[in-house]
Amino acid sequence: MKYILSFGGGVNSTALLFFLIDNNFPLDEIIFADTGAELPETYKHINKIQEFCKRNKIKFTIVKNEVGIYEWYWKHKKIPTWNRRSCTDIFKIRPIRRYLKERYSKEKFVMYIGISYDERQRAKKSNVKYIKNRYPLIENGIDRKRCEKIIISHGFKVPPKSGCYFCPFQPEERWEWLLKNYPLLFQKAKALEENGSAYPKLTLSRRGPLKNILLLSEVRR
């Protein structure tokens, strides 16, 4: 049996890493599935976690899909939407499972997943027999606020919420934040949206096309 931490690069998985270490949970490897579309702050945080793992002799592995998430959606003229979410399966779950099969062959696994107690409804059982999902944060009643305290207690800054910069599940105000702080990434998200075969019926923002946010921003200047 191998014990794996599925690392997302955000608050929950970072707190879970420290919680596992502090409480002597068995841990053979940490795996981060890189979509290629995280925010720069997330990649900086992941680099710091890699350094931490290296100092503490914890194996940290990065896996990727053959094609990046942006390129995949562009090629297929699609976008991720609230009712068509295939990204987690294609760009997170599959690359991790492919790596585990290639590296460990017929081994079985316990997969630690970072979901906090206040989001416990998101927890699911594994749909394959060789992986058993475990949610230590939920098992121990650790909510988001306590996750942040765990991270700070280990000398790390609380990282931003991880996720692709064009994720349709992000808060609506996040699009304006992206435009202000990362205008080039906003433009890439807008281009991806407009490249979709169902545009403008299907958009990344629930408020409509991203060009509207851009136009509104220009009016305010």
- The predicted structure's pLDDT at residue 84: 65
Convert the pLDDT of each residue in 1-59 to its tens digit. 999 999 999 999 999 999 999 999 999 999 999 999 999 999 999 999 999 999 999 99
- The predicted structure's pLDDT at residue 82: 78
How do strand 29-33 and strand 2-7 relate by DSSP bridges? Answer: parallel
Mean pLDDT confidence for 150-154? 98
The pLDDT confidence band at residue 155, using thresholds 50, 70 and 90, is: very high
Please choose, from the candidates 163, 158, 168, the residue with its C-alpha nearest in 3D space to the C-alpha of residue 203.
Answer: 168
Residue 167: pLDDT above 70?
yes
Domain with CATH 3.40.50.620 in the chain: 2-153
Please choose, from the candidates 21, 16, 5, 22, the residue with its C-alpha nearest in 3D space to the C-alpha of residue 142.
Answer: 16
Convert the pLDDT of each residue in 55-103 to its tens digit. 999 999 999 999 999 999 999 999 998 776 678 899 999 999 999 999 9
The pLDDT confidence band at residue 220, using thresholds 50, 70 and 90, is: low
- The predicted structure's pLDDT at residue 20: 98
Please choose, from the candidates 210, 193, 8, 201, the residue with its C-alpha nearest in 3D space to the C-alpha of residue 113.
Answer: 8
- The predicted structure's pLDDT at residue 219: 56
What mean pLDDT, rounded, does the chain reach? 95
pTM over 0.85: yes
Mean pLDDT confidence for 180-188? 97
- The predicted structure's pLDDT at residue 83: 74
Contact status, residue 111 vs residue 134, Cβ threshold 8 Å: yes
Mean pLDDT confidence for 160-165? 93
CATH class of 2-153: alpha beta
Sheet holding 109-113, edge to edge: 60-63, 29-33, 2-7, 109-113, 131-134
